[in-house]
Amino acid sequence: MNSIDRGAGDLVIDDVSQDFVARDRRVSALQKTTLRIPPGEFVTLVGPSGCGKSTLLNLISGLMAPSEGRVSFDGSIIRGTSRTIGYVTQQDNLFPWRTLRDNVGLSLELTGVPAKERRERVDEWLARVGLDGFGDAYPHELSGGMRQRGNIIRTLIYEPRVILMDEPFGALDAQTRITLQEMLLSIWEGTGRTILFVTHDLTEAIALADRVLLMSSRPGRILRDERVDIARPRDIFLIHHHPEFRRLFDEFWQELRTEVQIAAKKR
């Protein structure tokens, strides 16, 4: 195993491979993947469908253990889920029988935070994302974008040190997606939290990230890891005019298109 340098608060994927057995056939999802993410970085992950992006998030979250290699955070191997690492999925998964306020505050409720304090903290977060006044609404009474905002702050409210996001804006219309991208950056900047964000949208990947990772077709491995040299704070609505954005998009797209074509032939 090839170890890599690590520091306090680093998220480290060390020579990780992941296999699955499907219909008596072994499928390699990830192959010899090594990555280090220092604390406070916003890293996006792009690649063709089925390249192991979600598998990588599941390994980091502790939902599964790697077939080979190790995943660690802050010097300790990840063995199962914990409140240190939060996970935001594409589907909002809000409980339909609970109000938005009760959904957002669920983690605080489970850890015994008193009702008065819990309500104050939840209402503060709802206000931060433009949902003040909707705390008593049920999920079916909210738009898709409103539900996803609730889904995001349900994770952020318990302050995990690492936040995994699996295409959280993928199901939303373009206008809502851009609005929530801007919201996410405004909440994240200055917090020191680490974000690993999976997306199929190359524009989104470059606009949000400090670093963009490109994964190969299955079995997934990291083909390219490049820093986005665009100052923050960023104007999400105009960032595509920046010359660095155009350079990165053109270069990444050439490689991504090739991997998508290779993945299509494997199906």
46-56: per-residue pLDDT in tens? 998 888 899 99
Give pairs for 23-28: CB < 8 Å, separation 24+: 27/218, 28/218, 28/219
Residue 133 above 80 pLDDT?
yes
Report residue 249: phi and psi, to 5°: -60, -50
When pLDDT is averaged across residues 116-138 and rounded to a whole number, the result is 95
Residue type, 41: E
pLDDT tens digits along 59-90:
999 999 999 999 999 999 999 989 999 999 88
Residue 163 above 90 pLDDT?
yes
- Helix (H) or strand (E) segment spanning residue 176: helix 174-188
pLDDT tens digits along 166-191:
999 988 888 999 999 999 999 999 89
When pLDDT is averaged across residues 137-165 and rounded to a whole number, the result is 94
| pLDDT recorded at residue 8 | 67
Distance, CA of 54 to CA of 56 (rounded, Å) = 5
| pLDDT recorded at residue 168 | 92
Distances in whole angstroms, Cα of residue 249 to Cα of each of 39, 110, 131, 167, 210: 25, 43, 34, 19, 14
Residue 2 above 50 pLDDT?
no
| pLDDT recorded at residue 108 | 94
| pLDDT recorded at residue 33 | 93
Residue 6 above 60 pLDDT?
no
pLDDT tens digits along 97-123:
999 999 999 999 999 999 999 999 999
From the CB of residue 20, how many other CB atoms can be counted at a distance below 10 Å? 12
Residue 265 above 80 pLDDT?
no
Output the average pLDDT for the chain.
91
pLDDT tens digits along 20-58:
887 778 888 899 999 999 999 999 999 988 888 999 999
| pLDDT recorded at residue 24 | 76
| pLDDT recorded at residue 1 | 35
What is the DSSP-derived secondary structure letter of residue 65?
-
Tokens of 79: 């063995």
